[in-house]
């Protein structure tokens, strides 16, 4: 392969540019500067192209651009030594150089960044209204499903229950077990100082049953199933499947959203219950090992000291978390706009928002129940 | 090209060079055999149209040649390089010598049209941003898209414009071979005719070899030098389209002598 070269000569007839070598897109980098450096003098110019071994559109563009710049200052341009094929290529390229160079490649500047912050802030309010509207729509369809239960898509419901609930059991149980172990271990270290080891039972049972069990389960489900909802419905949106459903007279909310939300409504309390039990087992085991509280003693103490309300408060929150996760995930999916990147962005937003909303809602419940003094 | 094959054609005696040589190709998905002992040559500088009924493996053949599908058996040489078993480096090099325009464009949805066309240049050449931009604009203009579309995202384009943008991206490294998968499917007749003309023009101006999977009889008559018919798991017959009507095979007869074919023939 011969490196492309450009050589400028002055003779009686004006400037002669000798161009040689392989003028191919992949080898232009070395000669690009040299072409740009040729300044049009206004005098006549001859391109001697007899030494050009190969030419493609990239090389032709460089020559045509140089010729155009020379013509712009009133010079006569002549080409010499081109083969007919190369000459045709040069003509095609010269014809297609846009007069208006189109749009330059987009560079993201600081101003763009500020503008995007502003847009997102303004968009946040609109989104809030939109998500509330979607929540209303979903609740309406849910109510209709209760009145007319035969409209519920049973196959979809069962497969969603398996996907979001059944398959999450191992991870949720393991998480619960480890939370119990950690609480027992940390609690024991502190409580030993006061000789109040036996209170580790209350520490574990109340914190897990009231708060941690269901909260952490909801967070895992938001990450696991919320992202799956957004990605799968979002991809359907990109493929225009949602539009196709509408034209077939199918209601996307009824077909896609309701089975998922109902599946979460059923499965999240069950998963929360499993997490609670696993945490109690983990905590009991650790108390036995670390503090010598036997399982029998643990259970007796649990029955005496922990009211059923602690467990009930945890379970009451589960359906609310389920609706929040399901609605946010499905709403985000419906906001997907025709690109793969959009699916990714919406999935991220879905997980972040639903986890945040679950925690915020949990805080509200804490205040609510403490005011009620239960 | 060293290693490539020069053969004498019986009619003209002129030498022609096979840029793609497919030998004894067998493709199989599970128990379903798509191709069996398929042989095909594509000559330099020709426009080859691949036709066949639905499910005869036209797209699979294209995907196999460009390395997106690993065949069960057989060999494929492109520009003298064994693309199935050759050294990795050689195969990577050869990939820059072809461009592929997929059926629905397969443009990168997060990049603008111009960025899509510039992407291969950015990856494989050391050109300045300004020159890459200029070459990108040139390719977009070559395929007949308005300059306004450069800054648009693929989702903002119509189907026909996406196909053109995909062609611009396929051409961005000035490949020797262009693979087109159903380039005119879904275009209106005027758009399809303009696209055919465009392919013909570019093929002449850039000296391309075009491998085109198509169902469009108008395209076959307008721009294809040769047609290869896929049927019965192999290339049943290949040759200029005029000869196809003489082939004694029910599918080929129906395809090339049906009412649509006659209409296309009159136009072509």
Q: What is the DSSP string of A274-293?
A: HHHHHHHHHHHHHHHHHH--
Q: What is the mean pLDDT of residues A29-58?
A: 82
Structure confidence at residue A107 (pLDDT): 66
More reliable by pLDDT, A133 or B258? A133
Alpha carbons A152 and A141: distance in angstroms, whole number? 10
Distance CA B167, CA B145 (A): 11
Residue A182 is predicted with a pLDDT of 94
For the segment A86-131, what is each residue's pLDDT rounded down to a tens digit? 888 888 888 888 765 545 555 678 888 999 999 999 999 999 999 9
For residue A91, being part of any structural domain is answered with yes
- pLDDT, tens digit, 9 for 90 and up, residues B223-246: 888 999 888 888 888 888 888 888
**Cα(B20)–Cα(B43) distance, integer angstroms:** 7
Containing A9, the helix (H) or strand (E) segment is strand A5-11
- pLDDT at A332 (0 to 100): 95
Residue of higher predicted confidence among A308 and A54: A308
Domain of A329 in residue numbering reads as: 134-372
Q: Do A88 and A190 sit in the same domain of this protein?
A: no
Confidence of residue B268 (pLDDT cuts 50, 70, 90): low
Residue B242: both structure tokens together? 């005029």
A105 occurs within a structural domain: no
User: Are A141 and A81 in a shared domain?
Assistant: no
Q: Is residue A64 located within the same domain as residue A177?
A: no
H or E segment and range at residue A21: strand A14-23
Which of residues A68, A96, A124 is at a domain's end?
A96
Mean pLDDT to the nearest integer, A185-195: 88
Indicate whether A65 and A151 sit together in one domain: no
Q: How many domains does chain A have?
A: 2
Q: Which of B147, B171, B204 sits opposite A98 (nearest CB)?
A: B147
Instruction: For the beta carbon of residue A371, count every other beta carbon within 10 angstroms.
Output: 8
CB atoms within 10 A of CB B108: 17
For residue A35, pLDDT over 60 is answered with yes
pLDDT digits (tens, 9 = 90+) for B36-78: 889 999 998 899 999 888 888 888 899 899 888 888 888 998 8
Last-in-domain residue among A96, A125, A143: A96
Domain contains A108: no
3-state secondary structure of B32: strand
Are A90 and A151 found together in one domain?
no
Does residue A141 share a domain with residue A90?
Answer: no
Residue A101 within any structural domain of the chain: no
DSSP codes, A219-248: HHHIIIIIHHHHHHHHHHHHTTHHHHHHHT
Of A103-117, A282-296, B5-19, B75-89, the poorest mean pLDDT is in: B5-19
Per-residue pLDDT of A320-347, as tens digits, reads 999 999 999 999 999 998 778 889 999 9
Q: Show the domains of chain B with their CATH numbers.
A: 45-66+92-267 (3.40.50.300)
Residues A87 and A144 in one domain: no
Q: Looking at the structure, tell me whether residues A237 and A347 fall in a common domain.
A: yes
Q: Does B209 touch chain A (CB under 8 A)?
A: no
Is residue B205 within 8 A of residue B43, CB to CB? The reply is no
pLDDT digits (tens, 9 = 90+) for A254-278: 999 999 999 999 999 999 999 999 9
Cα B159 to chain centroid distance, Å, stands at: 18
Looking at residue B247, its pLDDT comes to 84
B2 pLDDT higher than 50: no
pTM > 0.80: no
**pLDDT band at residue B9 under the 50/70/90 scheme:** very low
pLDDT at position B10, please? 44
Do A194 and A61 belong together in one domain? no
Residues 323-362, chain A: which have Cβ within 8 Å of B?
Answer: 337-342
Least confident of A8-22, A285-299, B147-161: A8-22
* pLDDT at residue A106, rounded to an integer: 59
C-alpha distances in angstroms, A44 versus A12, A14, A47, A64, A91?
10, 5, 10, 15, 20
The answer to whether the CB of B53 falls within 8 A of the CB of B231 is yes
Q: Given a cut of 90, is residue B220 above it in pLDDT? A: no
Helix (H) and strand (E) counts in chain A: 15, 4
Token duo for residue A93: 């390229």
Is there a domain that residue A12 lies in? Answer: yes
Are both A204 and A325 inside the same structural domain? yes
Which pLDDT band, with edges at 50, 70 and 90, does B195 fall under? Answer: confident
Residue A153, C-beta contacts closer than 8 angstroms, at least 6 positions apart? A254, A255, A258, A259
Same domain, A89 and A144: no
CA–CA distance, B52 with A237 (Å, rounded to integer): 32
Closest CA to A337 of A325, A327, A326, A349: A349
Q: Which residues, numbered 28 to 67 in chain A, qualify as contacts with chain B under a Cβ-Cβ cut-off of 8 Å?
A: 28-29, 32, 56-58, 61-62, 65
As given in the structure block, the two tokens for residue A172 are 């949720």
Q: Does B173 touch chain A (CB under 8 A)?
A: yes
Which positions in chain B touch A346 (Cβ < 8 Å)? none
What pLDDT, in 10s, does the model give residues B68-124? 888 888 899 888 888 888 888 888 888 888 888 888 888 888 888 999 999 888 888
- Identify the CA nearest to A343 among candidates A270, A182, A234: A234
Residues of B in contact with A106 (CB under 8 A): 112, 115, 151
In a domain, A103, yes or no: no
Is residue A111 domain-resident?
no
Q: Are residues A357 and A220 in the same domain?
A: yes
Residues of B in contact with A4 (CB under 8 A): none
Q: Which two tokens stand for residue A138?
A: 């979903």
H helices present in B29-142, as ranges: 58-65, 88-95, 113-124, 129-142
Who wins on pLDDT, A166 or B183?
A166
CATH number of the domain to which A41 belongs: 3.30.750.24
What ipTM describes this predicted complex? 0.74
> CB contacts < 8 Å between A and B, how many?
101
Answer with the one of A37, A68, A96 that is the final residue of a domain. A96
Using the predicted structure, report yes or no on whether residue B250 has a pLDDT greater than 50: yes
A191 occurs within a structural domain:
yes
Banded model confidence at residue A354, pLDDT cuts 50, 70, 90? very high
pLDDT at A325: 96
């Amino acid at each position: 392969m011969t490196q492309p070269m450009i050589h400028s000569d002055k003779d009686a007839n004006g400037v002669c540019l000798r161009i040689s070598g392989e003028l191919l897109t992949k080898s232009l980098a070395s000669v690009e500067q040299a072409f740009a450096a040729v300044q049009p003098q206004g005098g006549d110019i001859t391109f001697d192209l007899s030494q050009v071994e190969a030419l493609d559109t990239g090389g032709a563009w460089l020559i045509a651009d140089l010729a155009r710049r020379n013509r712009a200052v009133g010079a006569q341009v002549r080409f010499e030594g081109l083969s007919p094929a190369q000459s045709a290529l040069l003509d095609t390229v010269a014809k297609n150089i846009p007069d208006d160079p189109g749009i330059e490649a987009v560079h993201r500047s600081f101003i763009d960044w500020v503008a995007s912050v502003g847009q997102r802030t303004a968009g946040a309010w609109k989104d809030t209204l939109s998500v509330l509207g979607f929540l209303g729509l979903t609740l309406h369809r849910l109510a209709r499903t209760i009145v007319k239960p035969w409209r519920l898509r049973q196959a979809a419901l069962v497969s969603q229950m398996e996907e979001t609930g059944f398959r999450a059991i191992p991870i949720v149980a393991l998480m619960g077990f480890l939370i119990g172990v950690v609480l027992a271990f940390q609690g024991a270290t502190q409580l030993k100082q006061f000789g109040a080891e036996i209170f580790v039972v209350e520490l574990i049972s109340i914190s897990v049953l009231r708060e941690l069990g269901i909260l952490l389960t909801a967070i895992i489900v938001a990450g696991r199933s919320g992202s799956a909802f957004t990605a799968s419905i979002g991809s359907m949106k990109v493929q225009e499947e949602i539009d196709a459903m509408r034209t077939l007279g199918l209601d996307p909310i009824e077909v896609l959203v309701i089975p998922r939300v109902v599946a979460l409504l059923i499965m999240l309390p069950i998963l929360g219950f499993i997490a609670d039990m696993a945490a109690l087992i983990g905590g009991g085991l650790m108390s036995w090992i670390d503090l010598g509280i036997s399982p029998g003693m643990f259970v007796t103490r649990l029955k005496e000291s922990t009211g059923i309300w602690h467990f009930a408060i945890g379970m009451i929150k589960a359906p609310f978390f389920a609706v929040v996760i399901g609605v946010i995930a499905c709403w985000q999916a419906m906001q997907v706009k025709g690109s793969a990147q959009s699916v990714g962005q919406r999935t991220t937003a879905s997980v972040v928002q639903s986890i945040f909303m679950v925690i915020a809602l949990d805080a509200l419940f804490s205040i609510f129940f403490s005011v009620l003094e239960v | 090209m060293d290693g490539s094959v020069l053969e004498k054609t019986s009619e003209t005696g002129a030498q022609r060079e096979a840029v793609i040589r497919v030998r004894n190709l067998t493709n199989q998905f599970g128990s379903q055999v798509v191709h069996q002992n398929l042989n095909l040559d594509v000559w330099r500088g020709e426009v080859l149209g691949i036709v066949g009924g639905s499910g005869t493996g036209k797209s699979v053949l294209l995907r196999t040649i460009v390395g997106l599908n690993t065949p069960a058996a057989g060999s494929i040489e492109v520009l003298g390089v064994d693309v199935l078993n050759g050294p990795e480096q050689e195969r990577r090099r050869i990939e820059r010598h072809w461009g592929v325009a997929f059926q629905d464009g397969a443009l990168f949805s997060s990049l603008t049209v111009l960025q899509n066309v510039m992407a291969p240049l950015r990856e494989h050449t050391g050109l300045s941003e300004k020159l890459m931009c200029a070459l990108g604009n040139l390719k977009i203009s070559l395929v007949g898209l308005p300059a306004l579309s450069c800054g648009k995202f693929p989702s903002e384009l119509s189907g026909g414009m996406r196909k053109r943008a995909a062609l611009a991206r396929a051409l961005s490294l000035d490949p020797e071979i262009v693979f087109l998968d159903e380039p005119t499917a879904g275009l209106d007749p005027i758009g399809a005719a303009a696209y055919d003309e465009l392919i013909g023009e570019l093929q002449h101006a850039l000296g391309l070899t075009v491998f085109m999977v198509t169902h469009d009889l108008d395209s076959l008559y307008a721009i294809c030098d040769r047609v290869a018919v896929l049927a019965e798991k192999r290339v049943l017959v290949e040759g200029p389209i005029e000869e196809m009507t003489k082939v004694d095979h029910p599918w080929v007869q129906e395809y090339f002598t049906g009412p649509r074919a006659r209409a296309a023939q009159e136009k072509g």
